[in-house]
Structure 1
Amino acid sequence: MFNLLFSRFRRSHRWVYPVLSLVVALGLWLGQPLVVRAIPWGDLILQGIQVIQLSNISDRQEVQLGQQINAQLVRSQIRLHRDPRVQQYVDSIGQRLASSSSRPNIPYTFQVVDDPSVNAFATMGGFVYINTGLMRLADNEAQLASVIGHEIGHVAAKHALKQMKDMALARGVASLAGVNRNTLVNLGVELALRRPNSRNDEFEADQLGLKTLTQAGYAQSAMVSFMAKLLQRSSSVPTFLSTHPATSDRVARLQQMIDPSRADVGDGLDNAAYQARLRSLS
């Protein structure tokens, strides 16, 4: 009886077996993990950093980017002064100012560029550069400190970062996927050497620099006197001014911010001591 029933079941339900086979095969296929192109974790982390660099970069990331920009500058764009005494002297002034700045929580690096042109510039992450030509033009240490304080003001206000973001967007190299780190470094080098700051950025750096100069114990009058000296130096525009526009307006604003009765209160106004220091360093 059982054999008869089973024979009839097989004849009437032959279609069941192919269907069952298909269901089993489909279940096995769906149960397997999908094979996709794996993205290395390093690439994912790098992409994340690139996105942050254009939106919300941390202090640590800014310093790292500044280190890479500095390495490229030193390797192929500028020549640092070889006398370590000169570097130490400028660094001592810079560190004194940086500790009194509005952004003392990042490491600052102050370097002397062996270049006779009158210039100074800064890039992100606390890297500040002073040309030997500017050092020789300054009458005293306070004037030199006023320039360093101004450049620290640019770092404190993150002007280079803002310019980098604007430039990346304008050139179409920024996207949702981020920006290649090498591209950012190249943009940073270009900004440091050839990109002038806006009028508002200069005013802000002057204001921050003057405050830093005062808090570090230097005489406020030095900032105005050195800037006025640059304007009167020659009919041609010095390099320092070509990348720092609206200098006459800046002098007027600085004069308004300084209390005349306190202008010469502070360190660094001894011209003879500074010139003797420079002679010993040359």
Structure 2
Amino acid sequence: MLNAKRIFSAFVNLFVIQLFILSQASAGLIGTQQEIEMGKEVARQIEEKYPLLDDAEVQARIDRIGKNIVAVCDRPDLPYTFKVLDVDEVNAMAAPGGFIYVYSGLIKLMPTDDELAGIIGHEIGHVVKRHSMGQLEKNLGISLIFGGIFGDKGKPLQSIALSAISAGYSRSDERQADLLGYQQSVKAGYNQYGMLMGLTKLYELNPKQRNDLFSDHPEASARIELMKQYLAEAHVTPTVKQIDANAAQVVDGDWSLPAIHTGVGATGPLYRAYLVAGRLYDIKNLENYSKDKYEIREMGRDLAIYYDDRNVVTVTSEDAAFYEVSVRTLADRYMESLRNWSI
């Protein structure tokens, strides 16, 4: 049994050690090489449990997106790898040291690179900010504290590391990763609305389908509102007005494009509108912007509106059928609106 003197001494030590741990956690008690070695072990266990997707094209796509974001992140020198798990589940994860995994179910849900860039940027954000390492350092400190009080030798470091990773991230960590996902994906050249699109799709999932990316419904809503706040603070316009569950419109003050009522493949009206709004934001910030540079190009049965070599919006036969006009007539309406847009 512990005597009173030992208990008193232990709690004094506990207080001192807690202060030490909290101050050292940000500085990094665990070195970069240790972090990488832990990540390799976690990656090995993940790949023992889940099969990798045998699709060179999809793998190349994820590699390309990941490397684009790594090039603009604050820890570009880690040995990042990006792999696709052949699991029909909507999820992604980051092991320490930069070992990123994307589930095939997530790729099916998010067909555009812009959406995936936001989510991959989110996972890279966890690595950049050492979120799992921070949790591990705290867990390691607690293990040392209880070892000092109770004479426990403590768990092996690897066991503590895996416990920290599997426990998930705090709300503040997730929000910080969201912000980095947005900032890094935009810096890498992806759509301003890509991260918001990804978060919104995760929010719309059936609760039974939600995993680590978005398991807490109230917090999910708060994270979406924060992302909208980041976009507003960055003065990203045009914006998107959701008319109803099946229609959305690109707007900028009193100006607007014709509303979008139909989807294209897995991209519904709201997400098509976000893509158009993000493209227009980039276009209006180009040097020597001119409304005369918009043009219509044929794409099979559809017509696409371009600004120089940038696709702005594709007007489909389904879009035209909703308005009961020809594809050419609806494309002309878009062209008229774009040329009347005052930036």
Q: Normalised by the size of structure 2, how large is the TM-score?
A: 0.55
* 182-191 vs 231-240, which moves further: 182-191
Structure 1 residue 170: deviation in Å?
A: 4.1
* 249-258 vs 65-74, which moves further: 65-74
Query: 1:234-249 alignment to 2 at 5 Å?
Result: 234-236=206-208, 238-239=210-211, 240-242=213-215, 246-249=219-222
Equivalent residue number for residue 71 of structure 2: 99
Q: Out of 231, 236, 244, which is 2:203 matched to? A: 231
Equivalent residue number for residue 71 of structure 1: 44
- Structure with bigger RCO (C-alpha 8 Å, 6+ apart): 1
Quick one: structure 1 residues 98 and 164, their matched pair in 2 at CA, closer, same or farther if it must change by over 3 Å?
Answer: same
Quick one: structure 1 residues 246 and 163, their matched pair in 2 at CA, closer, same or farther if it must change by over 3 Å?
Answer: same
Of Structure 1 and Structure 2, the greater strand share is in 2
Which of these two proteins has the greater Rg computed from alpha carbons?
A: 1
Quick one: structure 1 residues 80 and 189, their matched pair in 2 at CA, closer, same or farther if it must change by over 3 Å?
Answer: farther
Quick one: structure 1 residues 270 and 133, their matched pair in 2 at CA, closer, same or farther if it must change by over 3 Å?
Answer: farther
Question: Separation in 2 of the partners of 1:236 and 1:197?
Answer: 20
RMSD: 3.1
Indicate whether 1:221 and 2:193 are aligned.
yes
Query: 1:149-188 alignment to 2 at 5 Å?
Result: 149-170=121-142, 183-188=156-161
Equivalent residue number for residue 133 of structure 1: 105
Q: Deviations over 1:163-186 (max 9, x none)?
A: 11223344569869xx99x93334
Give the number of aligned pairs. Answer: 214
Say if 2:90 and 2:209, in contact at 8 Å, map to a contact too: no
Structure 1 residue 244: deviation in Å?
A: 9.5
Code of the residue aligned with 1:210 in structure 2: it is Y
Question: Separation in 2 of the partners of 1:254 and 1:93?
Answer: 21
Say if 1:222 and 1:269, in contact at 8 Å, map to a contact too: no
Equivalent residue number for residue 227 of structure 2: 254
Quick one: structure 1 residues 185 and 140, their matched pair in 2 at CA, closer, same or farther if it must change by over 3 Å?
Answer: same
Say if 2:139 and 2:164, in contact at 8 Å, map to a contact too: no
Quick one: structure 1 residues 246 and 133, their matched pair in 2 at CA, closer, same or farther if it must change by over 3 Å?
Answer: same
Structure 1 residue 104: deviation in Å?
A: 1.1
Question: Separation in 1 of the partners of 2:112 and 2:311?
Answer: 6
Structure 1 residue 142: deviation in Å?
A: 0.5
Say if 1:219 and 1:268, in contact at 8 Å, map to a contact too: no
Query: 1:86-125 alignment to 2 at 5 Å?
Result: 86-125=58-97
Question: Separation in 1 of the partners of 2:223 and 2:208?
Answer: 18
Quick one: structure 1 residues 124 and 270, their matched pair in 2 at CA, closer, same or farther if it must change by over 3 Å?
Answer: farther
Code of the residue aligned with 1:185 in structure 2: it is Q
Say if 2:114 and 2:194, in contact at 8 Å, map to a contact too: yes
Structure 1 residue 226: deviation in Å?
A: 1.7
Identity %: 31
Code of the residue aligned with 1:261 in structure 2: it is T
Code of the residue aligned with 1:201 in structure 2: it is D
Question: Separation in 2 of the partners of 1:185 and 1:269?
Answer: 50
Of Structure 1 and Structure 2, the greater helix share is in 1
